[in-house]
Amino acid sequence: MVKIFEMLHINDSELRVTLASYYLKGDASQWWKYAKGRVGPIGETFVITFQDKYLPPTVRERLRQEFQNLKQRNLYVAEFEAAFTSLSWFAPELVATEERCCIEFEKRLRTKILFKVSRNMIWNYDCLVEAVTHVEIIVQVDEERLRGLRSKGQKSQGDFRLSKKHRSTTSSQPQSQQTSATFRLPSVSSRRSAQGNFTCFECGQQGHKVNACPRKGGGQ
């Protein structure tokens, strides 16, 4: 409402109170019916009385503390700037000049953005917000590029491990085949065919064992 009054060059205090009270609704409209008799048509008094009713000192102090603790963190620049502008009304001494406003805005930025902006020493608030928005875009592009490189690195590392495992499996396969071919176990049929071809340890002849050797006088 104050901005509208300034734009329309409405400086009359009583007219300001009349126009502002016209837009009060609900509980605020009922409150004004009983409060206007003691407040009067003075604009400054109306604002103070209205704030004491709907924005008491305890709430203003809480919002002032919230402004002091405000940091960008994961907020986009547009979101952070809106919160900064809104809450700065409750700590006017911290943003009394445009230079102080720029200092307060800068020191609450994310570290990556702060390092890229602070070296330029921008003391115009609108220019500072525009520069910070531009830097935010650059930082986001760099972060996305870094994440892409990391994902490619992890993928290539996984491919290397897979190929290494494949090579080790392939190289071990002929060795196992060679082992099975070199140390081949005799089959059942070969053992059966070899049972009648005994060699005697006494005479060296085949067809009998040593306990049945004729030289020892054993049987056929």
**Cα separation, 115 vs 139, whole angstroms:** 11
Above 60 in pLDDT, residue 178? no
Using only C-alpha atoms, what is the Rg of the chain?
47
Q: Are both 109 and 92 inside the same structural domain?
A: yes
In a domain, 38, yes or no: yes
* pLDDT at 188 (0 to 100): 46
Domain end (from 145, 174, 203): 145
Domain end (from 100, 120, 145): 145
Above 90 in pLDDT, residue 101? yes
Q: Are both 47 and 67 inside the same structural domain?
A: no
Q: Are both 62 and 50 inside the same structural domain?
A: no
Domain end (from 128, 145, 162): 145
Q: pLDDT tier at 159 (50, 70, 90 boundaries)?
A: low
Nearest to 16 by CA among 52, 40, 51: 40
Above 50 in pLDDT, residue 186? no
Q: Are both 61 and 36 inside the same structural domain?
A: no
Q: Are both 104 and 139 inside the same structural domain?
A: yes
In a domain, 29, yes or no: yes
In a domain, 184, yes or no: no
In a domain, 48, yes or no: yes
* pLDDT at 191 (0 to 100): 45
- Residue 101 CB coordination number (10 Å): 19
3-class SS shares of the chain: helix, strand, coil, % to 5: 75, 0, 25
In a domain, 90, yes or no: yes
* pLDDT at 158 (0 to 100): 60
Number of domains in the chain: 2
Q: Which pair of tokens denotes residue 69?
A: 């603790």
**Cα separation, 34 vs 17, whole angstroms:** 15
Q: What is the pLDDT of the chain when averaged over all its residues? A: 80
Q: Which pair of tokens denotes residue 121?
A: 């020493």
In a domain, 62, yes or no: yes
Cβ contacts of 129 within 8 Å, gap of 6 or more: 77, 81, 105
Q: pLDDT tier at 109 (50, 70, 90 boundaries)?
A: very high
Q: Are both 30 and 87 inside the same structural domain?
A: no
Q: Which pair of tokens denotes residue 75?
A: 């907020």
Q: Are both 5 and 36 inside the same structural domain?
A: yes
* pLDDT at 185 (0 to 100): 46
Q: Are 120 and 131 in contact (CB under 8 A)?
A: yes
**Cα separation, 140 vs 205, whole angstroms:** 94
For the four alpha carbons of 196, 197, 201 and 205, in that order, the dihedral sign comes to positive
List the domain range (segments joined by +) for residue 16. 1-54
Listing DSSP states for 129-186 in one string gives HHHHHHHHHHHHHHHHHHHHHHHHHHHHHHHHHHHHHHHHHHHHHHHHHHHHHHSPPP
Q: pLDDT tier at 50 (50, 70, 90 boundaries)?
A: confident
Q: Are both 133 and 62 inside the same structural domain?
A: yes
